[in-house]
């Protein structure tokens, strides 16, 4: 329409400004996503070259592509980079998967609980997983028969991390569950699990305690080719499902009454989204441990750049999560420390800086 393209008549001028503003914002969203993806790709390639085995970054990249393309590769290099069981490629892919899953989980949690402090672990998932790991490592108890060792830890962690969800679902049969109630129940269960875990840890030997503690910190080294496919499948499927709910999440964020009057079955929707997110988080945490920061902060940081609309926020947060986790893992490998340490070390000050500089615009 010609009117929109010509500057100032009174109504035409307004339309003109809105159009450019919208275009500018959309470009900013796209730029942010591209930037995050670029960082992710770069860090993915760089991390292939970092580790205890000496190989230069460029050589590692060649090995990566040669293997992919089916060409001849030096078997030793290939072993360390691509890995028979453990290797840098599955670890890096694990970082991608975990970054996506935790970030998406964080976006959803903050949305349905309508609380800026919410994160995937708010429902007590991490404490359940920790308790499961403590049962397995500390007491040798496995909830799934015939499984032991690290598989028992994973199975225990997965099952127990879903206990809070189960309790909330049970409560929801008797009465309406509000977001606040969900948070409080999750916290109460976290405290309960924490107390029992404490008892076990305090009464166990120092070696056992060290094992449990290292599990809890969160390390991507546990991602190998055996565990990667299952976790990837779960994360991909659930993330896509959750992304399909994006517009409905926006509607819910407007408030319960508004959402209901717009036709959304709020309670059912909230609980079903919670179930999906819990499985998503549990799948990651049971393998990796509780890597902090990403679920809480990736949504906030992404929100600063792309706004609160979930259609953009979810992919943006996921992209940031991946970029951040890959970077943190690379640093972790250089210092041979678990990645959970660095996600908090880098993340804490970063988060503070963002909070202080953006306080008026970020959340409220």
Partner 1 sequence: MGSDGELADAGGQRLIDAYRMQMLRKAALLIACIAGIVLVVGLLSVHSYSSISLRESYEVIWNHIAGNEYPRRSDMWWADTYIWNRAMPHALAAIAAGAGLACCGSLMQSLMGNPLADPYSTGISSGAALGAIAAIVMGVSVTTLAGGGTVVNAFLGAMVPAIIIIAISERISMTPATLILIGTALSMFFGSLIAIIMVSTNPESLQEAYLWQVGNMNNIDDFGWDCIPVMLGVTAAGSVVAMLLAGKLNVMSLGDKSAQSLGIDVKRFRTLALTLMALMTAAIVAFVGILGFVGLVCPHIVRLLTGSDNKFVIPISMAVGAFILLITDYVSVVVGSLPIGVVISCIGAPIFFLLIVFSRNSGKGALY
Q: Which residues bind partner 1 (CB under 8 A)?
A: 116-117, 175, 180-181, 184-185, 187-189, 191-192, 194-196, 198-199, 201-203, 205-207, 209-210, 213-214, 217, 292-293, 296, 337-338, 340-345, 347-349, 351-352, 355-356, 359, 363-364
Least separation, in Å, of the C-beta of 59 and partner 1? 30
Residue 2 to residues 212, 236, 268, Cα–Cα distance (Å): 68, 45, 47
Least separation, in Å, of the C-beta of 235 and partner 1? 24
Shorter beta-carbon distance to partner 1: residue 73 or 129:
129
Residue 116 has, within 13 A of its CA and on its CB side, a CA count of: 11
Decide if 340 contacts 217 (C-beta within 8 A): yes
Residue of 164, 166, 28, 118 lying closest to 300 (CA atoms): 118
Least separation, in Å, of the C-beta of 296 and partner 1? 8
Gap between the Cα atoms of 237 and 100, Å rounded: 12
Centroid of chain to Cα 262: 30
Gap between the Cα atoms of 159 and 232, Å rounded: 18
Shorter beta-carbon distance to partner 1: residue 280 or 341:
341
CB atoms within 10 A of CB 38: 12
Shorter beta-carbon distance to partner 1: residue 49 or 128:
128
Shorter beta-carbon distance to partner 1: residue 27 or 203:
203
Least separation, in Å, of the C-beta of 345 and partner 1? 4
Shorter beta-carbon distance to partner 1: residue 283 or 339:
339
Least separation, in Å, of the C-beta of 271 and partner 1? 17
Gap between the Cα atoms of 287 and 282, Å rounded: 9
């Amino acid at each position: 329409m010609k009117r929109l393209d010509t500057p100032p008549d009174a109504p035409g001028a307004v339309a003109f400004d809105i159009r450019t503003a919208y275009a500018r914002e959309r470009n900013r969203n796209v730029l942010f996503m591209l930037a995050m993806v670029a960082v992710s790709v770069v860090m993915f390639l760089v991390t292939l070259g970092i580790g205890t085995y000496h190989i230069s970054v460029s050589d590692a990249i060649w090995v990566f592509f040669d293997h992919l393309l089916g060409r001849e590769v030096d078997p030793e290099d290939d072993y360390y980079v691509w890995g028979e069981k453990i290797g840098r490629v599955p670890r890096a892919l694990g970082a991608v998967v975990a970054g996506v899953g935790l970030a998406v989980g964080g976006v959803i949690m903050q949305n349905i609980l309508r609380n800026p402090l919410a994160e995937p672990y708010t429902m007590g998932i991490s404490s359940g997983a920790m308790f499961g790991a403590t049962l397995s490592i500390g007491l040798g108890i496995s909830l799934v028969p015939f499984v032991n060792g690290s598989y028992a830890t994973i199975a225990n962690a997965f099952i127990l991390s879903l206990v809070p969800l189960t309790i909330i679902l049970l409560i929801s049969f008797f009465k309406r569950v509000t977001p606040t109630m969900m948070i409080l129940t999750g916290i109460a269960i976290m405290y309960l699990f924490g107390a029992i875990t404490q008892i076990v840890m305090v009464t166990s030997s120092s070696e056992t305690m060290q094992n449990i503690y290292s599990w809890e910190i969160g390390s991507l080294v546990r991602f190998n080719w055996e565990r990667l496919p299952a976790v990837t499948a779960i994360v991909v499927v659930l993330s896509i499902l959750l992304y399909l709910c994006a517009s409905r999440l926006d509607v819910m964020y407007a408030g319960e009454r508004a959402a209901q009057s717009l036709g959304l079955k709020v309670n059912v929707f909230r609980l079903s989204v919670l179930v999906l997110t819990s499985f998503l988080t549990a799948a990651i945490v049971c393998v990796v441990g509780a890597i902090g920061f990403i679920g809480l902060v990736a949504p906030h940081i992404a929100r600063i750049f792309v706004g609160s609309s979930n259609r953009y926020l979810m992919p943006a947060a996921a992209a940031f999560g991946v970029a951040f986790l890959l970077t943190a893992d690379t640093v972790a490998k250089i210092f041979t420390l678990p990645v959970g340490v660095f996600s908090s070390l880098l993340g804490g000050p970063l988060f503070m800086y963002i909070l202080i500089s953006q306080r008026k615009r970020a959340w409220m």
